[in-house]
Amino acid sequence: MSDVILKVENMEAYYGKIAALNGISFEVREGQVVTLLGSNGAGKSTTLKTISGLMRAAKGSITFFGEDISKMPPHEIVRRGLIHLPEGRRIFKDLTVTENLELGSFNLKDNAERKRRIDHVFDRFPILSKRGKQLGGTLSGGEQQMLAIGRGLMAGPKLLLMDEPSMGIAPLIVKDISNIISKLHTDGTTILLVEQNSKMALGLADYGYVLDTGNIVLSGKAAELINNDNVLRAYLGDRKKGG
């Protein structure tokens, strides 16, 4: 069995005095896609922000490859290969596609390796290669999401935290994003995925955790969760046809 590379134990987080996470615990194994599911306000994005250092855990531990990163600043966490792709893509709209990608490798000193990584991203996303000199803000929503993923890959991730990659994207393009995540998984990239589209997330994932108001209320293999009508109705807001 693959090794655990991320272990979250009894993690609590607050917005002011309001509890957002109530002592959650979960793990991610190398090579897996693990998804965090739940309705709006369940604590999914807060979990990713706390892991990546954008928020500070009030209690608990976050261990990445055996090292507690819960008190580290975000740039040190990035240096260790934990890369957060935030909700809303957050690309630099006034920079070109190539410049956005270069910023993703700010820790890299080797220019030849940077060029190799850019070529790799362009091979993976041919449309970005055609848009290399275009400003990020002129791209479509789907192209901006590809650019955000490509920028994350430039950092040489050991773990990708992906927050709502299908949000704000035309339905026809959502399948493309799903295929991209599936290909990353096939290539061995470890992913912690937050996705409002629970059917898509469970179709991509190996394992899932369901959050409800800052608590993990259920976990299991993705194939088991997606086939459980009670789970879909009670926690994920989904209905199967005819239900």
Nearest C-alpha neighbor of 28 from the set 230, 239, 208, 222:
208
239 band by pLDDT with thresholds 50, 70 and 90: very low
Q: Is the pLDDT of residue 234 over 90?
A: no
User: Is residue 151 situated within a structural domain?
Assistant: no
What average pLDDT does the segment 8-25 reach?
A: 96
Across the chain, what does the average pLDDT equal?
91
Q: Would the pLDDT of 231 be above 80?
A: no
pLDDT at 82: 97
User: Do 95 and 174 contact (CB within 8 A), yes or no?
Assistant: no
* Residue 52 clears pLDDT 90, i.e. is over it: yes
Find the largest Cα–Cα distance for the chain. Answer: 57
184 lies in some domain? yes
In a domain, 216, yes or no: yes
- pLDDT number for residue 240: 46
Is 214 part of a structural domain of the chain? Answer: yes
In total, how many domains does the chain have? 1
- 95 vs 80, 110, 113, 131, CA distance in Å? 26, 22, 21, 12
| pLDDT tens-digit series, residues 188-211 | 999 999 988 888 999 999 999 999
| 183 within domain boundaries | yes
116 inside domain: no
The pLDDT value recorded for residue 109 is: 86
In a domain, 126, yes or no: no
Q: Which domain holds residue 43?
A: 4-89+158-235
pLDDT confidence of residue 16? 93
CB 91 within 8 A of CB 144: yes
Share of the chain above pLDDT 90, in %: 77
User: Which residue(s) pair with 18 in the sheet?
Assistant: 15
Is 63 within the bounds of a domain?
A: yes
CB of 25 closer than 8 Å to CB of 9:
yes
Query: For residue range 109-155, what is the model confidence (pLDDT) as tens digits?
Result: 888 999 999 999 999 999 999 999 999 999 998 899 999 999 999 99
Cα–Cα distances in angstroms (integers) from residue 211 to residues 20, 23, 38, 197, 219, in the given order = 11, 12, 5, 14, 9
Q: What is the CATH number of the domain that holds 201?
A: 3.40.50.300
Least confident of 70-79, 91-100, 230-239: 230-239
pLDDT at 236: 67
Distance in angstroms (rounded) separating the CA atoms of residues 145 and 122: 14
